Amino acid sequence: MKPGKKNHALEFPFIVVWEFRVRSGRRRAFEKAYGPEGDWARLFRRDQEYLGTELIVNEEGPLRYLTLDFWTSRRAHRRFLKHHQAAYERLNGQCELLTLKEKLIGEFDHLGGKPACAQTRKSHAGTGKLRPATASDIPRMMALERNLVSAARWSEATYRGIFAQGSRASIACVAESPVCGVAGFFIARLTGDECDLENLVVDAEQQSRGWGKRLIDELVSQARARGAKCINLEVRESSRWARSLYEKSGFAVSGRRRSYYRNPPDDALLYRREL
């Protein structure tokens, strides 16, 4: 079974090609698991240097498929396998009954410029949608936050607690791209007539493409609908992208907390927007 800091040298991406013979009656399940938006692609998206997957079928013979998994480099692929071995093996076991035979065709360097999946990965927010976050989004949300210094660091248990509560006090939303899955998200909490933005993250490759503004607009809309009179948040003073986003969205600095952040140390600026 076939088996994160950004590297923008995508001109010669790395491709892993596998061949599969699918069991009779399992074609639909196979395509769902191995397609561009399938279970394997969602697992690979935990690594920011995964570019996408293509699924190819030979309609003339037995149920024969090829998968092409695109990565920025051989090193990125190797690192993914090392860091996510347990999840990889678990999914591998779940998919064993879908195929009769599988083999690695090879690992290749792409010499023809960026593949379509690498180009479309940098999609504009206008091509995606916003939707309520669910517990199934947790792996991707955690992967996004781990790659941004300015993002709050939450444990998986903390994320699951939000969805387990089913509480009106929590608002969780994701920005979903048709080509790269979850491109960003926010989590906020309502206390009385105030809303506190606890975490907002946008994939580093998707910043300055409109996702952040769409997420803020959605937060404002949902907070108002639930009776909030203002939105509060805190951000690292050094996070220029986040501060610019908030200020363009109508937030103003309301205070400062000295040496609030660690790893690396930084002041927190408090922002507030009246609704």
| pLDDT < 50: residue spans in the chain | 4-12, 118-121
Give 13-26 as a DSSP string: -EEEEEEEEEPTT-
> The CATH number of the domain where 32 resides is what?
3.30.70.100
For the chain, the domain total comes to 2
Over residues 189-198, the pLDDT tens digits come to 999 999 999 9
Sign of CA dihedral 75, 76, 79, 85: negative
Range of the domain at 173: 122-274
> The CATH number of the domain where 153 resides is what?
3.40.630.30
Over residues 204-217, the pLDDT tens digits come to 777 767 888 999 99
Domain contains 134 = yes
Q: Which helix (H) or strand (E) holds 161?
A: helix 156-165
Residues 144 and 27 in one domain: no
Q: Which helix (H) or strand (E) holds 98?
A: none
Q: Is this prediction's pTM over 0.75?
A: no
